[in-house]
């Protein structure tokens, strides 16, 4: 039997991740980038992790999402570096904070618990076995030390400890959501948001909780309420996937896995070992952002608060299936993921509102470069500025946004403050540095519905009443009932203007998807009445 080459094995993994024919992919991979073969960020992360776990090969994520043919990128894969062993740290030992934890705790000190509290809920239809649910939560806590991590003040700043045993708590909500009027899910989320400090601020306990409430009609809402120092959006989706899979095992009397998984420290050391080129390379990539505006102000001339006000509101932006299908068709034609079309439409709407042809949009990336990190609940995500240039024909513009996103991944190891310093941008307490406008695609992290035992789970993203940007667009669902969420800071962007911006987003998406490939994007939409440039140039 012939020995298969590493490239052949990687191409098989890529075909599995993309869901395409293994026999046909090599021909396409020889001349086409990963993104034009149907790959997006979520698939790229999974391919990278599986290559490391199954083949011991490291694939560069930025290259994987770049313009080079997939076969060329996979041919550059190198052996995964050995992780540098860290000092032993038993249960209860004091440990230094991870970078994401340090940022989250600093944000809480500056703006309160509401600024760092997140809620991801599952609406459960069917009979719920509460005993099985408690067994599942105990198994999750045993597997993941991130769910047993507590934070405390120390003379030289906050530290963390990992408890030897601590199942995630399950609290029962007696009244919220049980009434017959209004949106019961929104009622529960509002109830949880108002009690964020009590739920994630218990001294000596991990800052997380599962809250179970009964809905009208006999269903339940199970909400995962967590602090940014514990988890990011990828972690929350991971935990929901594991919880529902374990619940299915529990109700069918199958054993649950309680063995300890790699914790954030082990996984983080693997990330450092796998980082291509280190922070210096990331700083060099950041130079490409010079010349873009350092900030885009959506106040339309109104004064900003002297200190950024984290109080936020949200709008849900629904799309009809015809517009979704048109966006998918445009993505296939241009050879980009559908998320790129949405990011491009968002950049176009904001750019027209601010009368800009070049702008930075902060994009959420998972920063999970290893198989260990892929399965570890930890605050790894980063928001990186993507340089969007609103020029050229429609397909050229879309491919340019896709390439800019892949280049921005190279800056993910720099936090926003470091990146701003590299670019010579001075701190400004009145606005989020570099990324006052953001975008996140979370539709691929969880399916719209999951079955577990006799339960059907439908996911809902809560809002704790705080924002980290002037305007933040998130893709919540795409395949089933496409839904976007626009979060905004009312101290900067009034609800009336936010509604108008949401309408301009829909208009930009419709214009992009209706235009021919070579239509100049400058001709798609007129600048909104009253718009004027409020950009601060980079040095």
> pTM, whole model, 2 decimals?
0.89
pLDDT at residue 271, rounded to an integer: 54
Q: Which two tokens stand for residue 536?
A: 């601060």
Nearest Cα to Cα of residue 33 among 67, 62, 73, 10: 67
pLDDT at 245 over 90: yes
On whether the CB atoms of residues 279 and 413 are closer than 8 A, the answer is yes
Q: What is the mean pLDDT of residues 290-301?
A: 83
On whether the CB atoms of residues 49 and 267 are closer than 8 A, the answer is no
Please state, in angstroms and rounded to a whole number, the distance separating the CA atoms of residues 407 and 81. 23
Angle at 376 between CA 102 and CA 115, to 5 degrees: 40
Highest mean pLDDT among 113-127, 251-265, 410-424: 113-127
pLDDT at residue 532, rounded to an integer: 44
H or E element that contains 293: strand 293-296
pLDDT at residue 403, rounded to an integer: 86
pLDDT at residue 122, rounded to an integer: 97
Per-residue pLDDT band for 536 (boundaries 50, 70, 90) equals very low
pLDDT at residue 110, rounded to an integer: 82
Overall residue count recorded for the chain in this entry: 539
On whether the CB atoms of residues 407 and 288 are closer than 8 A, the answer is yes
pLDDT at residue 446, rounded to an integer: 87
Between 400 and 272, residue with greater pLDDT: 400
Count of other CB atoms within 10 angstroms of residue 255: 8
pLDDT at residue 4, rounded to an integer: 87
User: pLDDT, tens digit, for every residue of 48-105?
Assistant: 888 988 999 989 887 888 778 999 999 999 998 765 554 445 556 889 898 889 989 9
Helix, strand or coil, per DSSP, at residue 418: helix
User: pLDDT, tens digit, for every residue of 480-491?
Assistant: 899 999 999 999
On whether the CB atoms of residues 147 and 255 are closer than 8 A, the answer is no
For the chain, which domains are there?
7-79 (1.10.1200.10), 99-264 (3.30.559.10), 288-367+381-449+459-526 (3.30.559.30)
For the chain, what is the mean pLDDT? 87
User: pLDDT, tens digit, for every residue of 158-187?
Assistant: 999 999 999 999 999 976 655 556 789 999
Burial (CB count <10 Å: 0-12, 13-18, 19+), residue 429: exposed
User: pLDDT, tens digit, for every residue of 130-139?
Assistant: 999 999 999 9
The DSSP letter of residue 484 is: E
What is the CB-side half-sphere exposure of residue 377 using CA atoms within 13 A? 27
Per-residue pLDDT band for 284 (boundaries 50, 70, 90) equals low
User: pLDDT, tens digit, for every residue of 405-433?
Assistant: 888 887 777 777 778 888 888 888 888 88
pLDDT at residue 40, rounded to an integer: 83
pLDDT at residue 397, rounded to an integer: 97
On whether the CB atoms of residues 86 and 168 are closer than 8 A, the answer is no
Percent of the chain with pLDDT over 90: 54
pLDDT at 237 over 50: yes
Please state, in angstroms and rounded to a whole number, the distance separating the CA atoms of residues 25 and 38. 11
On whether the CB atoms of residues 343 and 405 are closer than 8 A, the answer is yes
Per-residue pLDDT band for 267 (boundaries 50, 70, 90) equals low
User: pLDDT, tens digit, for every residue of 454-473?
Assistant: 999 999 999 888 899 999 99
Nearest Cα to Cα of residue 62 among 386, 395, 436, 434: 386
Please state, in angstroms and rounded to a whole number, the distance separating the CA atoms of residues 165 and 147. 10
């Amino acid at each position: 039997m012939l020995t298969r080459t590493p490239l052949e094995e990687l191409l098989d993994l890529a075909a599995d991740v993309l869901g395409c024919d293994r026999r046909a992919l090599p021909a396409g991979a020889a001349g086409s980038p990963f993104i034009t073969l149907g790959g997006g960020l979520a698939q790229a992360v999974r391919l990278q992790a599986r290559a490391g776990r199954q083949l011991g090969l490291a694939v560069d994520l930025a290259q994987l999402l770049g313009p080079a043919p997939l076969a060329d990128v996979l041919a550059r894969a190198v052996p995964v570096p050995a992780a540098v062993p860290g000092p032993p740290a038993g249960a209860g030992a004091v440990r230094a904070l991870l970078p994401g934890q340090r940022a989250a705790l600093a944000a809480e000190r500056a703006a309160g618990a509401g600024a760092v509290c997140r809620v991801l809920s599952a609406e459960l239809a069917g009979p719920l076995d509460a005993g099985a649910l408690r067994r599942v939560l105990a198994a999750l806590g045993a597997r993941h030390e991130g769910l047993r991590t507590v934070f405390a003040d120390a003379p030289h700043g906050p530290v963390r400890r990992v408890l030897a045993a601590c199942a995630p708590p399950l609290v029962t909500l007696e009244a919220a959501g049980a009434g017959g009027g209004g949106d019961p899910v929104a009622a529960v989320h509002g109830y949880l948001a108002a009690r964020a400090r009590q739920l994630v601020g218990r001294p000596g306990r991990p800052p997380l909780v599962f809250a179970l409430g009964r809905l009208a009609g006999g269903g339940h809402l199970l909400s995962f309420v967590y602090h940014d120092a514990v988890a990011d959006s990828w972690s929350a989706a991971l935990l929901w996937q594991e919880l529902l899979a374990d619940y299915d095992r529990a109700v069918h009397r199958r054993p649950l896995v309680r063995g300890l998984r790699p914790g954030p420290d082990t996984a983080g050391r693997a990330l450092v070992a796998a980082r291509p080129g280190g922070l210096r390379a990331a700083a060099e990539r950041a130079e490409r952002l010079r010349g873009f505006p350092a900030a885009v102000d959506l106040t339309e001339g109104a004064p900003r608060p002297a200190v950024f006000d984290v109080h936020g509101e949200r709008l849900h932006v629904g799309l009809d299936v015809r517009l979704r299908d048109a966006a998918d068709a445009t993505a296939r034609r241009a050879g980009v993921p559908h998320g790129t079309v949405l990011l491009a439409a968002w950049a176009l709407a904001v750019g027209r509102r601010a009368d800009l042809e070049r702008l930075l949009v902060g994009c959420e990336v998972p920063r999970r470069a290893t198989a260990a990190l892929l399965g570890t609940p930890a605050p790894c995500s980063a928001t990186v500025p993507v340089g969007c240039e609103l020029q050229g024909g429609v397909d050229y513009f879309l491919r340019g946004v896709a390439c800019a996103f892949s280049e921005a991944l190279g800056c993910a190891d720099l936090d926003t403050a470091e990146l701003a310093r590299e670019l010579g941008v001075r701190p400004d307490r009145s606005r989020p540095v570099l990324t006052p406008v953001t975008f996140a695609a979370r539709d691929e992290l969880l399916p719209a519905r999951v079955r577990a035992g006799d339960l059907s789970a439908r996911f809902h993203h809560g809002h704790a009443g705080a924002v980290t940007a002037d305007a933040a667009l998130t893709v919540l669902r795409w395949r089933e009932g496409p839904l976007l969420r626009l979060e905004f800071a009312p101290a900067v962007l009034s609800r009336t203007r936010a509604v108008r911006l949401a309408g301009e987003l829909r208009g930009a998406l419709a214009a992009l998807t209706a235009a021919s490939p070579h239509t100049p994007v400058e001709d798609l939409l007129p600048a909104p009445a009253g718009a004027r440039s409020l950009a601060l140039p980079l040095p």
